[in-house]
Structure 1
């Protein structure tokens, strides 16, 4: 799904997404990966620790989106329709908070 979105300045992810192919693809796309290295990594990668600490805001948003059954179960199989439903749910969630 990342490929369907326009490139962003940074992509914040946790240690599970620490892989060289993903990092290479993101850099080629013009996105700075903000992914901490795994504990057993032989060559630790530098990352923006300040931006990584702010990921809790994003994780709280995903927690709120999971309250919407249509989003949590990925009811819409069409990518455009799914992103539209996510945008609608995010708007309503933001409006009510």
Structure 2
């Protein structure tokens, strides 16, 4: 995706390494030089991204209508509770 937009993915990874940031996302499957990554961290990152995706279904969170941080946090709590209730009800 980044390479499609003209970014040099290796340069981005080198910059992250200089700043002591560990790359979590693996390289593409057709890449000649494989990139080492931590599978456990990648799975955790994926779970967090999916959770935010589920929360953004709620329009107030996706567009951030609330002006105050406390109001926005309240909406996040409500959306999280609704998502959790769906999960518990399905089990």
- Tell whether the structures are fold-level matches, with TM greater than 0.5: yes
Cα distance between partner residues in 2 of 1:26 and 1:73 = 30
More helix by share: 2
Per-residue CA deviations over 1:38-58 (Å, capped at 9, x if unaligned) read: 122121111101211223321
CA distance in 2, matches of 1:26, 1:90: 30
Contact 2:55 2:76 in 1 (8 A): yes
Tell me how far apart the structure 2 counterparts of residues 74 and 42 of structure 1 sit (CA, whole Å): 42
Which one of 25, 39, 43 corresponds to residue 49 of structure 1? Answer: 39
Count of aligned positions: 74
Q: 1:17 to 1:36 in 2, by over 3 A?
A: farther
Q: Which runs of 5+ in 1 are unaligned?
A: 1-15
TM-score, length basis structure 1: 0.53
Report which of the two has the higher share of strand.
1
User: Matched residue of 2:23: which SS?
Assistant: strand
Q: Which structure has the greater CA radius of gyration?
A: 2
Asked whether 1:64 is paired with 2:50, we answer: no
CA root-mean-square deviation: 3.1
